[in-house]
Amino acid sequence: MVQDDSQVGSGQDEDIDLAALETSDLVEQMHEDLYDGLADEIVEGTRILLERGWSAQQVLDDALVEGMRIVGIDFRDGVLFVPEVLLAANAMKAGMEILRPLLAETGVPPIGKIVLGTVKGDIHDIGKNLVAMMLEGAGFEVVDIGINTDVDGYLEALETHQPDILGMSALLTTTMPYMKVVIDTLEAKGLRDDYIVLVGGAPLNEEFGVAIGADAYCRDAAVAAELATQLVRARRTAAA
């Protein structure tokens, strides 16, 4: 069946035996269940895909992140509203909780520490949480300071935890400029060079990262883990 991405929600509540579905149908059903905010079904589908030999990364990318992309399209187009998107986000988080230990299970020794938070005025945290998981998986100690973080919150966390990296997330065009407020404050206090600053979030791009004075813009969680590792290693080598 050809399916229009923007019409993925089933709106039906009949019981479907997820374990009886072919894998491609199961993934499609998970997109619908995510759209409908069905956390229990997302947990079950996630477990089934793992049992069928899918890697945690594949489940994350193809079942969960792709499902959330479809939710995002209908949110943008006014088909879905905040309460429904919140339910979808909860369902996504329930699936991510199962994947978390698997993504973190690489046995790599700790290579650095990061303080990570979503900026002031912004409560989106799914992407940030994913970044935290991937960084943990890459061997980082992650201090997640949550959402809606103002400049004092970042400064306090930096002072308390003395990380190698400051990571900031923003999902709104109205909140992304706040990253510059934080970086400018670090500059003004003579602290900017003490930290590698990484930024990310859907509305950002490379150019924005450069313009606000970050060390790097991270397109996604995998890139964040890769760049964090590279930049910490480079800094350690330069200091040796």
| Residues binding ligand B1M (CB under 6 A) | 65, 68-69, 71-72, 75-76, 82, 85-86, 89, 121-128, 130-131, 167-169, 171-173, 198-203, 218, 220-221, 224
Minimum Å distance from CB 64 to ligand B1M? 8
Nearer to ligand B1M, 53 or 83 (CB): 83
Minimum Å distance from CB 21 to ligand B1M? 24
Nearer to ligand B1M, 49 or 68 (CB): 68
Minimum Å distance from CB 7 to ligand B1M? 16
Minimum Å distance from CB 154 to ligand B1M? 12
Which residues, in sequence order, are CB contacts of 63 under 8 Å at separation 6+?
Answer: 27, 30, 31, 45, 46, 49, 95
Nearer to ligand B1M, 52 or 69 (CB): 69
R_g over Cα of the chain: 19
